[in-house]
Amino acid sequence: MDEYLLKRMVSSVIAITGVSLLTFLLLFVLPGDPAEMLAISKYGPRDATQAAIDHLIRQEGLDQPVVIQYARWLKGVVSGDMGTSRISGKPVWQEINVRFPATLCLAGTSLVVSLCVGLPLGIVAALQRGTLWDHLATGTSLIGVAIPNFWLGLILILVFGLYLGWLPTFGYGTLPHLVLPAATVGISMAGITARLTRSAVIDVLGQAYIKTARAKGLPGRVILSRHVIKNALIPIVTIAGIQLGHLLEGTVIIEMVFAWPGIGRLLIEAVHNRDVPQIQGCVLYIAIVFCLVNVLIDLLYTRLDPRVRLTDRD
């Protein structure tokens, strides 16, 4: 397993390095001269004279080969310096650190919502297979998968914010502010959770040990809690892994809808402003978090299921 862990780590590091290289190169395939853009964003369009541009080129080392620029940038990243945002003028790391708690809060609450809605729905659907409950749960989960998450957010804003006036529709800070964004991301993920839980539970129900437990005369409640749920937990951890991508993606877009001051909004605003250092920082940050959590989930998976030898997986 240690070998497997090492292998996963190495491939994650390679992937993240690849991401960093590609985001760095983006700067050079962009339409427009990077030095000129930098000068305009730094001094404003009027003061971005040729002299100012030349000065910037020398100062930022933009006349050096790409490889050297990349190496220097990477060195900065490793030592915790990702440059400064071209819009706010603050260090990129600082901007990300300020925004991170908001994103973590939204993502965490959304995950809880998604599990609280999706797990029971999936379990009920699996236990009551073929009944109205199953169709209802399956139907809900299908719609949950197909609904555009930002649109769901807007509908919730319309109903609970504008018509009923129960909840604030944008902003950050208090618990009521968290309800709508977390409900949006959570509900839009609950569909997948329910679907995967349903098939996981159905899988377990078909196992021989469930038949044995039934034959022993164990009450249904005990079978459910001791045998079904416990064994279905393994695929459900995998679900959490699959969900992670949806979670991050959903959070980014929903942050825009609800003006939630997290990393997603920071990233999209940076994209709109072509604030390249900030984009590079956010992208690298999200990629690292994403890969790290994925590796952690894989580890958790091996701990939960001793039968799995992950070295066989690829």
Q: Give the residues lining the site for other proteins (CB under 8 A).
A: 11-12, 14-16, 18-19, 22-23, 26, 30-31, 142-143, 145-151, 154-155, 157-158, 162, 244-249, 252-253, 256, 267-268, 271-272, 274, 279, 283, 286-287, 290-291
Min separation Cβ 199 and other proteins, Å? 12
Considering the complex, state which of residue 161 and residue 210 has its C-beta at the smaller distance from other proteins.
Answer: 161
The whole-angstrom separation of Cα 115 and Cα 56 is 51
Considering the complex, state which of residue 111 and residue 213 has its C-beta at the smaller distance from other proteins.
Answer: 111
Q: Any idea what the Cα angle at residue 77 is, between residues 72 and 79, rounded to 5°? A: 95
The whole-angstrom separation of Cα 154 and Cα 162 is 10
Considering the complex, state which of residue 69 and residue 233 has its C-beta at the smaller distance from other proteins.
Answer: 69
Considering the complex, state which of residue 8 and residue 177 has its C-beta at the smaller distance from other proteins.
Answer: 8
Min separation Cβ 21 and other proteins, Å? 8
Min separation Cβ 58 and other proteins, Å? 25
Min separation Cβ 203 and other proteins, Å? 16
Considering the complex, state which of residue 60 and residue 249 has its C-beta at the smaller distance from other proteins.
Answer: 249
**Where do the H-state alpha helices sit in the chain?**
2-29, 34-43, 50-60, 66-78, 92-127, 132-146, 149-156, 175-205, 208-215, 220-222, 229-257, 263-273, 276-304
The whole-angstrom separation of Cα 286 and Cα 119 is 27
Min separation Cβ 26 and other proteins, Å? 6
Block residue for tokens 């989960």: 141
Phi-psi region of 229 (alpha: psi -120 to 50; beta: other; left: phi over 0): alpha
